Amino acid sequence: MNTQGPLLEVQDLQTHFSTDEGVVKAVDGVDFTIRQGETFCLVGESGCGKSVTAFSILQIVQDPGRIVRGSIHLRQDDGQTLDLAAMDPKGRALRRIRGRDIAMIFQEPMTSLSPVHTVGDQISETLRLHAPIDKLQAREQTMAILTRVGIPRPERHFHAYPFQLSGGMRQRVMIAMALICRPSLLIADEPTTALDVTMQAVILDLIKELQGEMGMSVMLITHNLGVVAEVADTVAVMYLGRIVESADVYSLFREPKHPYTTALLRSIPVIGLTKQERLATIRGMVPHPFNRPHGCTFHPRCDHFMPGVCNRSLPPITHLEGGRTVRCFLYGGADTREREER
């Protein structure tokens, strides 16, 4: 397989929602790359824009969300790259990418499946959209993938409706639906959030296993740092529409650079904490999207806040050793005062 260049390269992606009250910059200048076969985790609190980033890649952001800037380059099997951000969201070209090259699984397996269509119908539909095969072949392949994702008696569950399955089974169905066309990138938007803890591990293992088998890349969106430590190769931490730090998973956990990452890691509960030691939290609240702080958006909650620096301008992306990046004045960039003030 072609291994020159990353599979997906996102540059300066901006997705904004124009509402009556004003513009919400849900994604405000995001850069990242995903290499062939790797697992990329996007971490952040609720509302930081990680899901919108994922939806932007396939251009399925709900109205009034629009990609206003940036590029999303997908490398295809023949080595050519396509800019998904420049395509028509309703056009045939982009529809051919969806489900075939890039597939997606969602947070809520119950509501993400149609309640009135059978499981088999919904899975084989993806296949029949992208491959010139007849109903019988589609049915056989659907049975095969159902077996592969661990659904017992596929010939019976083919005709089952989503409400007849348990949460874990439904998420397996979602995975089967996403993987039936063997995509090169799987985007999983909080795939385990709606499941109980034992099921979470099972589903993550299943994704990891299938990833190895099919050689695809996975983009995993989560707010759970435990999940990140478990599966990620590289990690990007998002705060208020921007990536504040990105690194490989070992460096990030061993030596977090950005104060927000440090604070996040400190707030993971650890078994063995005594009553006197309270779990650390990040003080303050996530600011309202219309009322974003000036300069570095994290400064009101930051322990290393430098008055006159952090609240004046947006810190630039600083490249560190080992391919890490961080967006913080602690690591330089503070002298570039002529930067546009936001």
Partner 1 sequence: MLTYILRRLVLMIPTVVIISLVSFAIIQLPPGDYLTTLTAGLEAGEQVSQGQLHYLTERYGLDKPLHVQYWRWMSGIILRGDFGQSFEWNRPVKDLIWERIGLSFMLSLSTLLFVWAIAFPIGILVAVRQYSLWDYFWTFIGFIGLATPNFMLALILMYVAFRYFGQSVGGLFSPDFVDVPWSWARVLDMLKHLWIPIIVLGTSQTASLIRIMRANLLDELHKPYVTTARAKGMSEISLLAKYPVRVALNPFVSTVGWVLPRLVSGSVVTAVVLNLPISGPLMLRALKAQDMYLAGSFILLLSTLTIIGTLLSDILLAWLDPRIRYT
Which residues sit at the interface with partner 1, rule CB under 8 A? 55, 58, 60, 62, 90, 92, 95-100, 103-104, 106-108, 111-117, 125-126, 129-130, 161, 163-164, 174, 177
CA distances from 337 to 12, 41, 285, 310 (A): 21, 32, 28, 11
Distance of CA 149 to the CA centre of its chain: 21
Nearer to partner 1, 168 or 256 (CB): 168
226 vs 43: CA distance, rounded Å: 11
CB of 151 to partner 1, least distance (A): 18
CB of 227 to partner 1, least distance (A): 21
Residue 236 contacts by C-beta under 8 Å, 6 or more apart in sequence? 32, 40, 41, 42, 43, 243, 245, 246
Nearer to partner 1, 174 or 225 (CB): 174
CB of 52 to partner 1, least distance (A): 12
288 vs 285: CA distance, rounded Å: 9
Q: Which two tokens stand for residue 311?
A: 């609240």
Q: Which two tokens stand for residue 12?
A: 């300066």
CB of 104 to partner 1, least distance (A): 4
CB of 192 to partner 1, least distance (A): 16
Cα-flanking dihedrals φ and ψ of residue 68, to 5°?
-100, -20
Q: Is 262:248 a contact under the CB 8 Å cutoff?
A: no
Cα-flanking dihedrals φ and ψ of residue 113, to 5°?
-110, 145
Answer positive or negative: Cα dihedral of 269, 272, 274, 277. Answer: negative
CB of 58 to partner 1, least distance (A): 6
CB of 162 to partner 1, least distance (A): 9
Nearer to partner 1, 145 or 252 (CB): 145
Q: At what angle do helices 197-214 and 167-179 cross, to 10 degrees?
A: 20
Q: What is the CA angle 302-69-108, rounded to 5?
A: 70
Nearer to partner 1, 103 or 310 (CB): 103
Nearer to partner 1, 10 or 174 (CB): 174
Nearer to partner 1, 123 or 240 (CB): 123
Nearer to partner 1, 115 or 308 (CB): 115
